[in-house]
Amino acid sequence: MAERYSSFEPKGTRWFLQRITAGFLIVVLAFHFMLLHFVNHAYEITFMGTQARMSQIGYFATMVLFLGTATFHGVNGVYNALVNQGLSGTRKTAVKYTLVGAGLLLTVQGIRVALAMTGMNVTL
């Protein structure tokens, strides 16, 4: 059996990370909803207010981490859902790289947005 898989890439890693990110996301997503719907009402959001929040280093770091974990958790979840439905072969490989690409794009764009929210010029 040993040659059928590589011991350097245990299949359980993604399963484990999915649970770890879940634990983090539970807390941060709840916090995010509370802050932007109850503490600050969504309809009162202005760029000034956003900039004030994002300029705090702790908040900024939390939001970037939030983005990263949410992207992983979501994209990995989609991939798992498709594998569960019997996705295999070339289509599986194609879906895998499409999802990795989409995830990276989302993260990069998200970080640009986060930096812009601090007032930084990120126009290309």
Partner 1 sequence: MSTQIAEEQQTDEPGTGQPADAEAEAEREENEYAVPEWATESEDGPGENEDTVRLEVFRYDPEVEAKQEPRFDTFHIPLEQGMTVLDALIYARDQYDTSLTFRHSCRQAICGSDALFINGSQRLGCQTQVQDLETPVRIEPLPHQEVEKDLVVDMSHFYEQMDAVDPYFRSEDVEEGEEQRQTRENREKIKMSTRCIWCGACQSSCNIAAGDNEYLGPAAINMAYRFVMDDREEETIKQDRLEIIEQEHGVWRCQTQFSCTEVCPKDIPLTEHIQELKREAVKKNLKFW
Partner 2 sequence: MSQSYDRGLVEDFGRWQEFSAGMWAWVLHKFTGWVLIGYLFTHIAVLSTAIPAATGDPAVYTGTLQSLEELTVVRILEVGLLSVAVFHILNGVRLLFVDLGVGLGSQDRSFYASLVLTGAIVVASVPTFISGAF
Minimum Å distance from CB 4 to partner 2? 26
End-to-end CA distance of the chain: 50
d(CA 21, CA 98): 21
Minimum Å distance from CB 92 to partner 1? 10
Q: Which segment (2-10, 87-95, 104-112) binds partner 2 by CB under 8 A?
A: 104-112
Near partner 1 by CB under 8 A: residue from 2, 42, 48, 124: 2
d(CA 63, CA 88): 35
Would you count residue 5 as binding partner 1 (CB under 8 A)?
yes
Minimum Å distance from CB 73 to partner 1? 15
Residues 6+ apart with CB under 8 A from 95: 79, 82, 87
Would you count residue 1 as binding partner 1 (CB under 8 A)?
yes
Would you count residue 121 as binding partner 2 (CB under 8 A)?
yes
Helical residues (DSSP H) of 1-120, grouped into ranges: 12-33, 47-54, 57-84, 89-117
**CA-based R_g, the chain, Å:** 18
Q: Which residues bind partner 2 (CB under 8 A)?
A: 19, 22-23, 25-26, 29-30, 33, 37-38, 41-43, 45-48, 50, 67, 70-71, 74-75, 77-78, 81, 102, 106, 109-110, 112-113, 116-123
